[in-house]
Amino acid sequence: MSQPITVTTVAEGVARLVWSTDTTIDEVRREVARALVDHPRVETLVDPDDQAAQRTATWSGMHREGVMRGVTVEDGPVDRIVYARLATDASVNEPGGFRALLNSFLPRKRAISQVLVRDPDDRVLLCRLTYKQDWDLPGGVVEVGESPRLAAAREVEEELGLTLDLGPLLLTDWLPPWGGWDDAICLVFDGGVHDASVLDRVVKQEREIRDVRFCTPDEVRELAADFTTRRVEAALRGEGDYTESGR
C-alpha cells in the first residue's frame, strides 16, 4: 500500500503536494482534485533527475511552469521543477486543456532571425554589437507568437532604422549550446541588394549597435566569429540550405 500524500498549505490559496515513489498517478490526480476544492492553486516541486515523479505530476494534470533554482532543503540548496494546476485550468479531458498540458512540457526551440543585405560589390552588411566584440548580421530573437519573417524586418527597423522588403529564406542554421546559451535555430532572410548609400539612412539603436558597414568576404572573416562567417558564406550561396553552426 502506498504512503499517504502530504498536502500542505504553503501560502494563502496555495497547496503543495508531496508523495512517495510508490504513489500512483490516479492517487495523485484524485488528491489534486480534492486540494483544488479549497485552494485556487495546487503545486509540487520535483527533482529534475526524478523522471518518474515528473511523469506523475504531468499526467495528474499539473502544468510544468519552470525550474526553481536553489530551493533550500535539508541537504542544502537544490533545483526543483515546479508543476502546478489552477482551479481555472481547463479539464485535460477537453482538447484545449489537453493541448495546454502538453504545451507546458514539450521542448521549445529558440529562434533567431537575421537578414543578409548586400551592396552591388557583393559586400555584406554587418553590425558591431555593444554586448560582444565580434560583428554579426542584423537581426535578433523571434518573440513568442511572432513569425520569423516579421521578426527579421522588425529587428532591422529597430536596430538600424531601415524598412526592408525581405526576400526568400536563404538559410536555416542550427546553433548548438554555447557559452551559457541553449541551442537555437537561426533563419537568414534575403534583405536584397542596396547601394552603399543606404548607410546614410541608418539610425543606430545605441543600446545595441556600435557600428554598421558593408564588408568584403575577407573583412567578414576578420571581424565575425568563425560560426558567423560560415553562416554568411552559406547564406551567400542562396540555396535555402540547412547547416549546423554554418557547416
Check whether residue 99 and residue 115 sit in a common domain: no
Is the pTM higher than 0.75? The answer reads: yes
Whether residues 122 and 202 share a domain: the answer is yes
- Supply the range of the domain harboring residue 58: 6-105
pLDDT, one tens digit per residue, over 211-242 is 999 999 999 999 999 999 999 999 999 888 99
Please report where in the chains the cell 552591388 appears, as a residue.
120
CATH number of the domain that residue 72 is part of: 3.40.630.30
Residue pLDDT, tens place only, 172-209: 999 999 888 899 999 999 999 999 999 999 999 999 99
Residue 1: inside a domain: no
Which residues 6+ apart lie within 8 Å of 204 measured at CB?
159, 160, 161, 210, 211, 212
Same domain, 118 and 238: yes
